[in-house]
Amino acid sequence: MDTVFIVTALIVIAALAFDFINGFHDTANAIATAVSTKALKPRHAIILAATMNFVGAMTFTGVAKTITKDIVDPFTLHNGQIVILAALLSAIIWNLLTWYYGIPSSSSHAIIGSIAGAAIAAAGFASLNYSGFLKIIEALLLSPVIAFVAGYIIYGIFKIVFKNNNLAKTNRNFRFFQIGTAALQAFTHGTNDAQKAMGIITMALIANGYQSDQEIQHWVQFSCALAMGLGTSVGGWKIIKTVGGKIMKIRPINGVAADLTGAIVIFGATFIHLPVSTTHVISSSILGVGASHRVKGVKWGTAQRMLVTWVITLPISAALAALCYYILNIFL
């Protein structure tokens, strides 16, 4: 059997595995606040998130096209099939490690850092498409800052509007609204995160000569959406515990403000075709809401540990991908 076909098939399987892992790794982010406030039972929250992730993933392809062309050029990528397979293996390993230890790290940072690291290992720094790559890095860096500020402002508005309302009644009402905001956040997660695997599979199809343009094929979109939805259905309770409880004590009104903030920022990025980290955006939204509610109520130690993980993910995943590339290059 043709070696190129076998490697391409391995890449597709690895990309779907990455999407599946991304689903259960990042499910926590979309539904953590709703579970924490008891707006939704865990089982119901996961079913809702899985469904909305699938729907979101089937709706857009702009981010996938950005992943396909803006980090490296798939038409000229040296040893492309090994580069892409190494990147996927690296991102999967990092995602599983951080999931195991309950650390809400970024799947986006992991896969983008891995693609860059494997490409550099194959053909040096000149292999990167610097204009597109830096644009993606800017989006990854700015989106959590925007989410923090937006969360602070949105919750500040809530405090003014509902300051004279009965607290218990307000929280009961917001617990109902939180079902909708959790669904919205899961939808926006699907519109951005599932597209990363779509872009990688398309990159592999181009690099291996199975496709001559950057359009996302329907079977690629459907399979990635399904993998994300199935992964979401598995859940990620360790990360739910961190995001939903260890940053701050979340009440329904806090949860709605954080969910709305996260959904707005993520969908804004999807609309302009930029990949962002849903983990960073949602966690930063909660931090912004918490700071607006009561600065001392935020567990900044947890936030600091999360920040350290975010910072180290790009270089570690790049180095891990380079190592995977050298190993795979020996055998393939």
CA torsion sign for 35, 40, 46, 50 is negative
pLDDT confidence of 25, banded at 50, 70, 90? Answer: confident
Q: According to the model, what pLDDT value does residue 244 have?
A: 46
pLDDT confidence of 93, banded at 50, 70, 90? Answer: very high
Q: Model confidence over 211-251: pLDDT tens digits?
A: 989 899 999 999 999 999 898 887 655 555 555 445 556 78
User: What's the average model confidence in pLDDT over 168-192?
Assistant: 88
Q: According to the model, what pLDDT value does residue 143 have?
A: 93
Q: Residue 194 phi/psi, 5° resolution?
A: -65, -25
Residues in the chain: 332
Q: Model confidence over 7-24: pLDDT tens digits?
A: 999 999 999 999 998 887
Strands (E), 232-329: none
Tokens of 91: 């991102």
Q: Are 286 and 82 in contact (CB under 8 A)?
A: no
What is the residue-averaged pLDDT of the chain?
87
| This prediction's pTM | 0.89
Tokens of 135: 């644009």
Q: According to the model, what pLDDT value does residue 173 have?
A: 85
CA 21, CA 192: separation in Å to the nearest integer? 15
Q: Which amino acid is at 313?
A: T
* Owner of token pair 């307000």: 170
Q: Model confidence over 106-161: pLDDT tens digits?
A: 888 999 999 999 999 999 999 999 999 999 999 998 999 999 999 999 999 998 99
Q: Point out the least confidently predicted range of 45-49, 84-88, 151-155, 265-269.
A: 45-49
Q: According to the model, what pLDDT value does residue 175 have?
A: 87
User: b/e map of 265-293 (b: 16 or more CB within 10 Å)?
Assistant: bbbbbbeebbbbbbbbbbbbbbbbbbbbb
CA torsion sign for 84, 109, 62, 193 is positive
More confident site: 26 or 316: 316
* Owner of token pair 């040893």: 79
Q: According to the model, what pLDDT value does residue 197 have?
A: 94
More confident site: 268 or 310: 268
CA-to-CA separations, 273 to 107, 199, 266, 269, 297, in angstroms, rounded: 17, 12, 11, 6, 35
**C-alpha R_g of the chain:** 20
User: What's the average model confidence in pLDDT over 54-65?
Assistant: 94
User: Quick check: 301 pLDDT over 80?
Assistant: no
User: What's the average model confidence in pLDDT over 23-44?
Assistant: 76
Q: Residue 72 phi/psi, 5° resolution?
A: -135, 160
Q: Which amino acid is at 187?
A: F
Q: Model confidence over 255-266: pLDDT tens digits?
A: 899 999 999 999
128 strand-pairing partners: 72
**Measured CA angle at 191 (ends 129, 132), to 5 deg:** 10
Q: For residue 67, how many other CB atoms are within 10 A of its CB? A: 25
User: What's the average model confidence in pLDDT over 271-289?
Assistant: 90
CA 274, CA 285: separation in Å to the nearest integer? 19
Q: According to the model, what pLDDT value does residue 238 have?
A: 54
User: Quick check: 1 pLDDT over 60?
Assistant: no
Q: According to the model, what pLDDT value does residue 268 have?
A: 96
Directed axis angle between helix 130-161 and helix 278-293, to 10°? 30
CA-to-CA separations, 211 to 14, 60, 162, in angstroms, rounded: 19, 20, 55
Q: According to the model, what pLDDT value does residue 149 have?
A: 96
CA 261, CA 153: separation in Å to the nearest integer? 9
